């Protein structure tokens, strides 16, 4: 929690540093609810911080992947936490809404529909689509960074909010897109129970729905790995989702911000005249460039949460690097304090 805490704030009013006046870092509530998604175990990496800050935590797990939360909560209880400290509450969406309503503060994960539902509720910290992007300027040879680009797209099966959804290049994007497609096309569809599996799986019906949605969204683009090959039937009513790569003639913001739960990337040209407009509304922008003024512009852009300067995958994380701000920014506040 040290990176998130304001340096001038004390954790306890008894500390000598605030005797003559200062700030005390305190909780904004007592109960913190989490509406988790099922796109990966990483969604359970943040909320334990709330326990460390003294909150009681109620977890509503995803019905698709309830196991990580269950294992983590059992591990916490085996190591001294009480049942009332952290609670496992599997329920449907109506039940989840009730859990969130009765908590002091809450964190939800989900799609744009869920983001819109809670957008105006100051007690809810919303984690929606990441729409992460990579920008490569003309002073860089994209071939030197192809591993970082492909890894950013396919890591974690392309399901996470930190996976790259778009790659923008200051130049002709076609050769870059072709190289990305060649790399991604080598990923073999495998059943979920196969330890070598990388690509996510869905029911066959859901997989076809996603492919049809992609086909509609990709109209007017050049498909290198198109919607017609996304569904890889595995049997037993299941399918793996193969990667998709489409080339844009211009940076169409609507397409660049279309995020799907598998390795799906839009490759687009970019020019200085475009500026930061095509890069807006991104959880992460990895900027592979020597242009420090561009980094200044990205850091100044309010809708870009994180800026990674150089050869860093969009999924990079570290305790000192906030995800979408520090969770403690939401859970805590500073109070002025002075005593005799």
In a domain, 314, yes or no: no
Which residues sit opposite 203 in a β-bridge?
238
Domain match, 68 and 161 both:
no
**DSSP-derived 3-state class of residue 293:** helix
Phi and psi dihedrals of 264, rounded to 5?
-135, 120
Domain match, 147 and 285 both:
yes
Contacting residues for 12 by C-beta, under 8 A, at least 6 apart = 24
Structural domain containing residue 41: 9-128+322-337
For residues 336 and 12, the answer to whether their CB atoms sit within 8 Å is no
Q: Find the DSSP H helices in 218-313.
A: 253-256, 292-300
* CA separation, residue 18 to residues 13, 219, 278, 294, 333 (Å): 7, 61, 46, 41, 16
Instruction: State in Å, rounded, how far the first CA of the chain is from the last one.
Output: 29
Domain match, 69 and 28 both:
yes
Domain match, 120 and 136 both:
no
Tokens of 117: 């539902």
In a domain, 79, yes or no: yes
* CA separation, residue 301 to residues 120, 233, 296, 307 (Å): 21, 42, 9, 10
CA distance 100 to 193: 33
For residues 332 and 30, the answer to whether their CB atoms sit within 8 Å is no
pLDDT score, position 49: 95
pLDDT score, position 40: 78
Domain match, 214 and 114 both:
no
**DSSP-derived 3-state class of residue 244:** strand
pTM of the model: 0.93
Where residue 269 sits, what CATH number does that domain have? 3.40.309.10
Q: Find the DSSP H helices in 16-163.
A: 48-52, 67-78, 93-102, 112-118, 146-154
Domain match, 136 and 124 both:
no
Q: Is 138 exposed, middle or buried (0-12, 13-18, 19+ CB in 10 A)?
A: middle
For residues 44 and 75, the answer to whether their CB atoms sit within 8 Å is no
Total structural domains in the chain?
A: 2
Which residues sit opposite 113 in a β-bridge?
none
Give the distance, in angstroms, between the CA of residue 122 and the centroid of all CA atoms in the same chain: 20
- Indicate the helix (H) or strand (E) that contains 180: helix 174-184
pLDDT score, position 145: 98
pLDDT score, position 69: 93
From 230, 234, 161, select the one nearest 192 (Cα to Cα).
Answer: 234
pLDDT score, position 164: 98
* CA separation, residue 181 to residues 203, 309, 340 (Å): 25, 24, 68
Give me the tens of pLDDT residue by residue for the chain, a chain 340 residues long. 788 889 999 999 999 888 899 999 999 999 999 999 887 788 898 999 999 999 999 999 988 889 999 999 999 999 999 999 999 999 998 898 999 999 999 999 988 888 899 989 999 999 999 999 999 999 999 999 999 999 999 999 999 999 999 999 999 999 999 999 999 999 999 998 899 999 999 999 999 999 999 999 999 999 999 999 999 999 889 999 999 999 999 999 999 999 999 999 999 999 999 999 999 999 999 999 999 999 999 999 999 999 999 999 999 999 999 999 999 999 999 999 999 8
In a domain, 317, yes or no: no
In a domain, 215, yes or no: yes
In a domain, 2, yes or no: no
Where residue 100 sits, what CATH number does that domain have? 3.40.605.10
Domain match, 157 and 285 both:
yes
Domain match, 288 and 273 both:
yes
Domain match, 100 and 148 both:
no
In a domain, 3, yes or no: no
In a domain, 75, yes or no: yes
Domain match, 240 and 141 both:
yes
Phi and psi dihedrals of 313, rounded to 5?
-65, 155
In a domain, 180, yes or no: yes
The counts of H helices and E strands in the chain are: 10, 18
Domain match, 183 and 214 both:
yes
Domain match, 138 and 124 both:
no
């Amino acid at each position: 929690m040290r990176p998130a805490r304001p340096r001038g704030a004390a954790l306890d009013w008894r500390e000598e540093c605030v005797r003559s006046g200062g700030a005390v870092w305190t909780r904004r509530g007592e109960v913190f609810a989490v509406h988790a998604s099922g796109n990966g175990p990483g969604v359970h990496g943040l909320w334990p911080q709330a326990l460390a800050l003294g909150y009681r935590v109620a977890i509503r797990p995803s019905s698709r992947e309830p196991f990580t939360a269950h294992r983590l909560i059992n591990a916490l209880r085996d190591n001294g936490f009480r049942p009332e400290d952290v609670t496992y509450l599997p329920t449907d969406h109506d039940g989840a809404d009730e859990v969130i309503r009765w908590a002091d503060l809450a964190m939800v994960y989900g799609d744009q529909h869920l983001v819109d539902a809670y957008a105006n509720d100051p007690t809810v910290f919303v984690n929606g689509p990441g729409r992460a992007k990579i920008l490569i300027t003309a002073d860089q040879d994209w071939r030197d960074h192809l591993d970082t680009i492909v890894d950013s797209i396919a890591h974690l099966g392309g399901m996470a909010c930190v996976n790259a959804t778009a790659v923008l290049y200051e130049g002709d994007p076609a050769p870059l897109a072709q190289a990305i497609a060649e790399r991604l096309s080598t990923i073999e569809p495998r059943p979920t129970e196969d330890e070598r599996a990388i690509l996510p799986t869905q029911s066959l019906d859901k997989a076809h729905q996603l492919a049809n949605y992609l086909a509609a969204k990709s109209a007017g683009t050049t498909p290198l790995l198109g919607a017609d090959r996304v569904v890889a039937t595995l049997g037993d009513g299941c399918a793996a989702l193969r990667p998709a790569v489409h080339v844009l003639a211009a940076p169409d913001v609507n397409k660049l911000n279309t995020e799907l739960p598998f390795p799906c990337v839009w490759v687009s040209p970019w020019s200085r005249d475009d500026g930061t407009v095509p890069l807006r509304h991104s959880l992460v922008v990895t900027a592979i460039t020597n242009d420090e003024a561009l980094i200044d512009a990205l850091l100044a852009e309010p809708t870009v949460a994180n800026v990674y300067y150089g050869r860093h995958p969009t999924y990079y994380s570290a305790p000192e690097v906030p995800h979408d701000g520090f969770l403690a920014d939401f859970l805590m506040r500073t109070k002025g304090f002075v005593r005799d």
